[in-house]
Amino acid sequence: MPPKQRIKTLAAILLTMASTASHADNWQEMQAQLATLSPQDALQALLQAPPAIRQQTEYHYWLGTYALQAGDTQLAITHLEQALLLQPDHAGAWYDYGMALCRDGQRTSCQNILEAAKARYGLPPALQQQTGPAITINGELRSHVGRSSNYNAGSQADRMDILLSGQSISLPLSGDSRAQAASYHDIALDLQLFSHRLPSISLNTGFYARRPISGQQTLAEYGNWHGELSHESGNQRLALNLAVFKDSLLGRQSKIGLWWQGRQAALGWQTGIEQNRTQQQPYLTLNAGSSLILGRAGQIRLTAEQDQRQTTRPGQSQRRLAIGYNLPLLLLQTARLDAGYRWQQARDSAPFSPLTGTTIRRQNLQELSAVLTWPLTNTLALRSELLHSRQQSNIALFRQQETRLAIGIAARF
């Protein structure tokens, strides 16, 4: 190698070494400063760190750790995943990633990650000495005000053709059966309880209520309560569900179901049976489904349902097939956008009504949704929802369309 070329090469090596050392020194100085700050302030300082520091594994690890301490679970998951991509044997990132998944409610993934980390690295001294409450309660309280173009899920048609004594008659639909626009307010509470002594058992419960602001009697008020007691073992989960729905137009409905779920890597599946009761008429529903997690590309779900056929409930026994897709996006490093699409096809097993003769109801539903969550503090966030759905049917009564927009606030604890 010519002398000049050797000098240039040596200079480049020295420059690279000096740059690396400078980055290391800057990171060490920054890490010392972070130790004196609160988790919230440390998180903000890391989000404004120089670009050179953002390329290091430790940067993503500590950003994820401080985000977890500050209550921003989604941000923690994102950066702890990045730390493990850069350094797969980072023990601290493994444990904190598992804890972040636990806090996010992904109990199966959380358990798998923590068990793998414990088998590979052993239990950290901090966790060996940790003593916490016997029961942990996580939850979220949400409230919105919004506007719906079809608040009562009414039909888009003004009239309906029926068969009466062999004659076709066109009758107008009543006002409470047609689509109505209205403003509304709602409130929802979700709770998750699990015991540290029995970590495989958890209880999830919650309720949702929606009321019209205008107070019109023809608008449908809606509310539901649900509860789920589940037991997890490895990649399997057994759950008992109970739900009660109340609608001012359709009345009270309830269901109790038993589910078995399993997961292998990114692929999950579930099957179950439900006992439903509508207007004092019980019936069974068989369910089966599968989901595929595509990482940052989202999740695909496929669900099939079959109601038990009964002569006492014509038109209510259905076969349903649904396909859904959800895509979570991180915006401006703090906001989260959850976009979704769902398609569902339903077909009755019997005529809807003796008035419609031998007509078998068929429906196709398409739904687009977007939920934007913008953190204000560690526990409070602005939340907005946008939904558009369209249902087509061969019976005019069940042709529906709705656009809904709401804005509110969410509090996590």
Nearest-angstrom CA–CA distance, 388 and 400: 11
Using DSSP's 3-state secondary structure scheme, residue 317 falls into: coil
Q: What is the pLDDT of residue 9?
A: 46
Q: Which residues pair with 206 in a beta bridge?
A: 190, 226
Q: Is the pLDDT of residue 374 over 80?
A: yes
Q: What is the pLDDT of residue 313?
A: 63
Q: Which residue has the higher pLDDT, 82 or 22?
A: 82
Q: What is the pLDDT of residue 378?
A: 77
Count of positions (residues) in the chain: 413
Contacts for 221-229: CB closer than 8 Å, 24+ residues apart:
221/246, 221/247, 221/248, 222/246, 222/247, 222/248, 227/203, 228/203, 228/204, 229/201, 229/202, 229/203
Nearest-angstrom CA–CA distance, 93 and 89: 9
Query: How far does CA 151 lie from the centroid of its chain?
Result: 23
Find which of 33-47, 136-150, 310-324 is predicted with most confidence, using mean pLDDT. 136-150
Q: pLDDT band at residue 16, thresholds of 50, 70 and 90?
A: very low
pLDDT digit string, tens, across residues 81-93: 888 888 888 888 8
Nearest-angstrom CA–CA distance, 212 and 194: 35
HSE, side-chain direction, 13 A CA sphere, residue 56: 21
Q: Which residue has the higher pLDDT, 356 or 276?
A: 276
Q: Taking residues 43-62, report their average pLDDT.
A: 82
Q: Which residues pair with 302 in a beta bridge?
A: 290, 323
Q: What is the pLDDT of residue 407?
A: 97
Q: Taking residues 30-45, report their average pLDDT.
A: 78
Q: What is the pLDDT of residue 6?
A: 47
Q: Is the pLDDT of residue 12 over 50?
A: no
Residues 6+ apart with CB under 8 A from 255: 241, 242, 243, 274, 275, 276, 277, 285
Q: What is the pLDDT of residue 147?
A: 93
Q: Which residue has the higher pLDDT, 359 or 107?
A: 359
Q: Is the pLDDT of residue 371 over 70?
A: yes
Q: Taking residues 383-394, report their average pLDDT.
A: 95
Q: What is the pLDDT of residue 383?
A: 96
**What's the whole-number average pLDDT of the chain?**
81
Residues 6+ apart with CB under 8 A from 31: 58, 62
Q: Is the pLDDT of residue 97 over 60?
A: yes
Structural domains of the chain in order of their starting residue, each with its CATH number? 3-128 (1.25.40.10), 136-412 (2.40.160)
Q: Taking residues 68-72, report their average pLDDT.
A: 83
pLDDT digit string, tens, across residues 179-205: 888 899 999 999 988 776 677 788 999
pLDDT digit string, tens, across residues 257-278: 999 998 776 788 899 999 888 7
**How is residue 155 written in tokens?**
């039909």
First vs last Cα of the chain: how many Å apart?
Answer: 65
Which amino acid would we find at residue 37?
L
Q: Which residue has the higher pLDDT, 116 or 140?
A: 140
Q: pLDDT band at residue 10, thresholds of 50, 70 and 90?
A: very low
Q: Is the pLDDT of residue 175 over 70?
A: yes
Q: pLDDT band at residue 306, thresholds of 50, 70 and 90?
A: very high
Q: Which residue has the higher pLDDT, 199 or 103?
A: 103
Q: pLDDT band at residue 23, thresholds of 50, 70 and 90?
A: very low
**How is residue 261 written in tokens?**
């779920």
Q: Which of 306, 228, 299 is nearest to 273 (CA)?
A: 306
CB 351 within 8 A of CB 314: yes
Q: Is the pLDDT of residue 7 over 50?
A: no
Q: What is the pLDDT of residue 202?
A: 86
3-state helix, strand, coil in the chain (%, to 5): 30, 45, 25
Q: pLDDT band at residue 361, thresholds of 50, 70 and 90?
A: confident
Least confident of 15-24, 124-133, 174-183, 349-358: 15-24
Least confident of 12-26, 252-266, 346-360: 12-26
Give DSSP secondary structure letters for 123-167. --HHHHS----SEEEEEEEEEEEEEESSTT--BS-SEEEEEETTE
